[in-house]
Amino acid sequence: MNAAREIRVIQPKKQCDLSDKIRVAAYCRVSTDSNDQLNSFYAQVKYYTDYIYNSDNMRLVDIYADEGITGTAISKRDDFKRLVADVKKKKIDRVLVKSVQRFARNSLECIEAVRLFKSYGASVYFENDNIDTERMNSEMILYIKSAFAQGEAISASRRMALSNRMKMADGIYNLASAPFGYRLGKNGLVVEPQKAEIVKKIYELYLDGMGDCLILQYLNENYYDNGWSLKRVGYILSNERYIGDCLLQKGYSTSVLPLTLKPNRGELPKYYYVGTHEPIISKELFDKVQALRKEKRNKYNVSAGKEIRKEFFSKKVYCRRCGWAYSKKWRNGELFWRCYKQGTTADECRTPPQADSVLRQAFIKMFNTLKQNSRTIIHETLLQLQTLKMKASGGKDEIIEIDKELVALSEQNRIYSELFVQHILDEVSYYEQTDKLKNRMTELRSRRLKILNDDEDENYLERLRKLERVVADTEFITVFNESLFDDIVERIYVEENGDLAFRLKCGFELKVNMEDGI
């Protein structure tokens, strides 16, 4: 017999080509546009560019950089959003960041972004903090670091707000922007003659009887390149800076994340300075306009001592004939809605007005009829569309499979929580198991969202499923339910004959005649 042969395997040498390299991106950010910070910003960009190019196993995808942008809200950072989009397209394997503070100062957004990146196969390495999400078993450390960064951001915001208030009180606060008709000069606001004439014209038109809408129409026809809007017209007609005065701290930033600007309605002191710059209009003219605006608000927005408020059906009711939204109108103490075109243009609209109470009763009637016939109207339509879609896709419905797995994972997570509370499962095992479940659930939800965004048919089916769930979970109603309306109705159309058509968010349109039914 022959002796057993000895076989030695010599592994091939890997060739270093682009396909072997990790696709790496770097994210850089500074929060202000001062020279020192910009130097730091450019240093970050140069550092990561050189670092990735000099590495043997990395290939640079791109440098994503936001300069002079706050880190407290991801929505304000354009390049960060571009980074997220490229991660979703699976162009990136790894993201390099100097620190958690540079990545995000909102702890919730930081964790959500990291989970999103992981669901698309991209890890994040925070260099200064030595945190690598690729090797991280628990999110606890990252959460703590991001919470510290969040606390620092809130403290910095409070310090800046206090500094600004002290400057306002001392009269040394410098304006950050100039209203239309002015520009910022070395010593404050400087009049721009051509734009100042437009401001004067706006005040004249208002005193001549034109409302904000007609003034807007006039401005768009004669000064179309200035970006006019109703909000801007109202701002000009109520801004004290056009008489040479200055009211400071009209708004303030909240002290909790997300940091948002709110109107100051007495929460903080205001500072009014007289004669700070050259006026464009006289105080007498300004006061006349303010008195007239107050009179109109009292006439059209207040009835029987009610405070000014936005009514529920605002921007929810539309004219079928001309497409204009319906606006509110009080008549003998009762709220009505009519086509906004009536009384604002020469082309009269004859679609009838509707009482607010009638709209509410019509919704009650529509919903109860929809619930009574939900099997015919919703369920059978959904089944037919799902059957057609499954035939087209070879018998697979990925959304249904994802939903089943999500339910199973949620149940597993609940069981682990009960075991942990009962001290049957130790803390390390609990976080290890639940982190895996949460990562998988995040991945499934991202996949589900991607399918819905990419597949119009699936998106439509999802809206039908939601309508079916809402109708099934809600009893027949006898009083108007605002939350239910918002859940299922997109808008109401008023027909020329007075019928009401409810356009549902799933695309269905159901007509109601208060005499004949649905």
Q: What is the DSSP letter of 309?
A: -
d(CA 34, CA 487): 46
Q: Which helix (H) or strand (E) holds 62?
A: strand 58-67
pLDDT score for 14: 44
Residue 388 pLDDT: 64
Tokens for 487? 């859940």
**Whether residue 258 has a cis bond before it, omega within 30° of 0:** yes
Query: Would you state the pLDDT for residue 303?
Result: 41
Which class for 213: exposed (0-12), middle (13-18), buried (19 or more C-beta within 10 A)?
middle
Determine how β-strand 22-30 pairs with β-strand 58-67.
parallel
Amino acid at 20: D
* 387-390 contacts at long range (C-beta below 8 A, 24 or more positions apart): 389/457, 389/458, 389/461
pLDDT value at residue 71: 43
- β 261-263/354-355 pair status: unpaired
Q: What is the pLDDT of residue 110?
A: 76
221: Cβ contacts below 8 Å, ≥ 6 apart:
none
| DSSP codes, 72-108 | S-GGG-HHHHHHHHHHHTT--SEEEES-HHHH-S-HH
Q: Is the pTM of this model over 0.75?
A: no
- Give the whole-angstrom CA distance, residue 254 versus residue 157: 9
CA–CA distance, 455 with 386 (Å, rounded to integer)? 13
Residue 238 phi/psi, 5-degree rounding, is -130, 10
Q: Which residue has the tokens 């819905």?
A: 452
In which residue ranges of the chain is pLDDT below 50? 13-18, 33-38, 71-72, 138, 302-308, 346, 395, 517-518
Question: Hey, what long-range contacts does 374-382 have (CB within 8 A, 24 or more apart)?
Answer: 374/468, 374/471, 374/472, 377/508, 378/464, 378/467, 378/468, 378/471, 379/468, 381/464, 382/461, 382/464, 382/465, 382/468
Residue 407 has a pLDDT of 83
Widest Cα–Cα separation across the chain = 120
Comparing C-alpha atoms, which of 138, 116, 153 is closest to residue 435? Answer: 138
Residue 218: the pLDDT is: 84
In 403-434, which positions are buried (b, 16+ CB within 10 angstroms) versus exposed (e)? eeeeeebeebeeebeeebeeeebeeeebbebb
**Which amino acid is residue 361, in one-letter code?**
Q
Q: Hey, what domains does the chain have and what are their CATH numbers?
A: 18-154 (3.40.50.1390), 182-301 (3.90.1750.20), 305-518 (no CATH)
- 349-364: buried (b, 16+ CB within 10 Å) or exposed (e) per residue? bebebbebebbbebbb
Please tell me the total number of residues recorded for the chain in this structure: 518
For 55-70, b where at least 16 C-beta lie within 10 A, e where not — what string?
A: eeebbbbbbbbbbebb
Rg, Å, the chain Cα set: 31
